[in-house]
Amino acid sequence: MRHALTAVLAAVSLSSIASAQTAPATPVPQPSGQSAIGAAIARDMDGLMTLYRDLHASPELSLQEVNTAAKLAKRLKALKFDVTEKVGGTGVVAVMKNGSGPTLLIRADMDGLPVVEQTGLDFASKVRTRTPEGVETGVMHACGHDTHMTAFIATAKLLAARKDQWKGTLVMILQPAEEVGKGARDMLEDGLYTRFPRPTHAIAFHDAANLTAGVIGYTPGYALANVDSVDILVKGVGGHGAYPQTTKDPIVLGARIVTTLQTLISREQEPQDPAVVTVGSFQAGAKHNIIPDEAKLLLTVRSYSDETRARLIEGIRRVARGEAMAAGVPEDRMPVVSVKDEFTPSTYNPPAFAEQMAGLLKSHFPESRVVQTPAVMGGEDFGRFYRADKSINSFIFWVGGVPADRMAAAAAGQATLPSLHSPFWAPQADRVIATASEAMTVLALDILKKD
Ligand SMILES: [Zn+2]
Ligand SMILES: [Zn+2]
């Protein structure tokens, strides 16, 4: 699937992608209307890239985005937004009221990842820290949230400078802790919709490691998945490895559970409704000749609808208990299945609004730069802003970051592309930032348009 998509997108010619950095060779008439936005971004690109490099070189882990938040809050204040800091942890809410009209929430996420950067960029992160679990690690913006923040500031500038072209209220938010699925929930619980104007519309973007730089992808309906982490503690009765008849072996039982879990997808799941159950960790035992007391399985479970999610979790409980019963495990040693708190709900783009937004982008950018993309099994907590109030018109879109020559090499089988979260992910940042800020500004000016 990814290969086919790669080939199609590689066919998008370089010439169709306007470079924000290419100055016209001869004087051209001053652009008017929407094309003026692209020109304004191009004029500002040196400053934006300085901000981007600074953010890239100084990433902070989830829930620790203190300096990042302070730095950007200062810029928003300078643009005359009404800025509130420390909303839901390190979150920032910047409000600009401009008469009556809709209330548009624009969101960027701020956190980096515990990844040791290996891009070789001259502004690569050298930051080292300890995770809350005590693991020493490097820190990197390996998910491209630095491009999100830079495009967010660019968009704030463009909209603040065009107050005569829109009416309504802007609520621009910098969200912490996307990577651990906590930040959106923390901001909502800290009164995002009660202490500040309640949004009627919400937009965001994410950079994409499978789209050519400057290409916009959109997905009506479910765009990203429900992400659950599930632990299964398989209890047995331990003993000597030479006398298995005196034990209930949790390793054999755990292996059966792993195998039967596969049928939740292959035999019970509607084939047109994709879902995933992956056992990512199986830990048990300490020595060759000891049957241990217990085994531990760690699962990631992905789905789109609430119904499928509930069915899979029920199925995991049923399989674990059923296999334990088949193995003759006593009732008081049944497996313990726990669904972790770090759930990220699926992200849904209400289809009519997604088509309307995509239509706007298609009328603004060359047609080849706006493509419909399939839903992915990754997760994003932007979906929480919509789930908290389903009357909100919500839309998240992708902006490709892969240089066109790299995409072509990958399509020809001569290169493999790093994914998001890879220590090698180095998006073509100027194109991501220029495209995303132009797209967000175009959408915002339409949502908040004057009569
Ligand atoms: Zn990420
Ligand atoms: Zn991300």
Let me know whether 118 and 194 are in one domain.
Answer: yes
User: What pLDDT is stored for residue 354 in this prediction?
Assistant: 98
CA of 301 to the centre of ligand 1 (A): 17
User: What pLDDT is stored for residue 10 in this prediction?
Assistant: 36
CA of 427 to the centre of ligand 1 (A): 14
CA of 30 to the centre of ligand 2 (A): 36
Cβ–Cβ < 8 Å for 172, 441? no
CA 286 vs CA 233, 251, 294: distances in Å: 16, 12, 11
DSSP E strands: which ranges in 99-200? 103-109, 128-130, 136-138, 168-175
Residue 54 within any structural domain of the chain: yes
CA of 226 to the centre of ligand 2 (A): 15
Compute the Cα dihedral for 71, 74, 79, 80 and give only its sign.
positive
Let me know whether 295 and 256 are in one domain.
Answer: yes
CA of 145 to the centre of ligand 2 (A): 6
Let me know whether 237 and 359 are in one domain.
Answer: no
Let me know whether 108 and 67 are in one domain.
Answer: yes
User: What pLDDT is stored for residue 14 in this prediction?
Assistant: 34
CA of 143 to the centre of ligand 1 (A): 5
User: What pLDDT is stored for residue 34 in this prediction?
Assistant: 56
> Closest ligand to 382 CA?
2
CA of 97 to the centre of ligand 1 (A): 32
Let me know whether 149 and 232 are in one domain.
Answer: no
Residues 429, 247: Cα–Cα separation, whole Å? 58
Domain closes at, from 308, 324, 339? 339
The set of long-range contacts for 124-132, using a CB threshold of 8 Å and a minimum separation of 24, is 124/56, 124/57, 125/56, 125/57, 125/58, 125/59, 126/57, 127/57, 127/58, 127/59, 127/60, 129/61, 129/64, 131/61
Closest by CA position to 380, among listed 200, 152, 219, 211: 219
Let me know whether 181 and 141 are in one domain.
Answer: yes
Residues 236, 438: Cα–Cα separation, whole Å? 59
Q: Tell how strand 336-339 and strand 82-87 pair up.
A: unpaired
Domain closes at, from 339, 363, 391? 339
Let me know whether 49 and 152 are in one domain.
Answer: yes
Residues 241, 349: Cα–Cα separation, whole Å? 54
Cβ–Cβ < 8 Å for 104, 112? no
Q: For the chain, which residues score pLDDT lower than 50?
A: 1-32
Residue 5 within any structural domain of the chain: no
What are the backbone dihedrals phi and psi of residue 182, each rounded to the nearest 5 degrees, phi first? -115, -30
CA of 294 to the centre of ligand 2 (A): 36
Q: What CATH number does the domain containing 418 carry?
A: 3.40.630.10
Q: Report the run of H or E that residue 229 belongs to, with start and end.
A: strand 226-235
Residues 310, 414: Cα–Cα separation, whole Å? 42
CA of 252 to the centre of ligand 1 (A): 35
Task: List Cβ neighbours of 402 (8 Å cut-off, separation of 6 or more).
Answer: 208, 209, 210, 211, 212, 213, 410, 417, 427, 428
CA of 62 to the centre of ligand 1 (A): 11
Let me know whether 281 and 383 are in one domain.
Answer: no
CA of 327 to the centre of ligand 2 (A): 42
Let me know whether 301 and 351 are in one domain.
Answer: no
What are the backbone dihedrals phi and psi of residue 201, each rounded to the nearest 5 degrees, phi first? -140, 150
Cβ–Cβ < 8 Å for 201, 392? yes
CA of 43 to the centre of ligand 2 (A): 27
Residue 105 within any structural domain of the chain: yes
User: What pLDDT is stored for residue 75 in this prediction?
Assistant: 98
Domain closes at, from 286, 314, 339? 339
> Closest ligand to 396 CA?
2
CA of 401 to the centre of ligand 2 (A): 13
CA of 108 to the centre of ligand 2 (A): 10
391-435, pLDDT tens digit by residue?
999 999 999 999 999 999 999 999 999 999 999 999 999 999 999
For the entire predicted model, the pTM comes to: 0.88
> Closest ligand to 109 CA?
2
What are the backbone dihedrals phi and psi of residue 274, each rounded to the nearest 5 degrees, phi first? -65, 145
Q: Which residues, chain by chain, have CB under 5 Å from ion ligand 2?
A: 143
Let me know whether 312 and 363 are in one domain.
Answer: no
CA of 267 to the centre of ligand 1 (A): 31
Q: Tell how strand 82-87 and strand 91-98 pair up.
A: antiparallel
Domain that holds residue 206: 14-224+346-447
Closest by CA position to 123, among listed 59, 210, 207: 59
Question: Residue 27's Cα: distance from chain center in Å?
Answer: 40
CA of 179 to the centre of ligand 1 (A): 5
How many domains is the chain partitioned into structurally? 2
Question: Which residue type sits at 154?
Answer: A
Residue 274 within any structural domain of the chain: yes
Closest by CA position to 63, among listed 394, 398, 342: 342
User: What pLDDT is stored for residue 13 in this prediction?
Assistant: 35
Order of strands, sheet of 336-339, starting from the edge strand that comes earlier in the sequence: 276-284, 294-303, 226-235, 336-339
Let me know whether 218 and 285 are in one domain.
Answer: no
Let me know whether 146 and 50 are in one domain.
Answer: yes
DSSP classification of residue 312: H
> Closest ligand to 110 CA?
2
> Closest ligand to 146 CA?
2
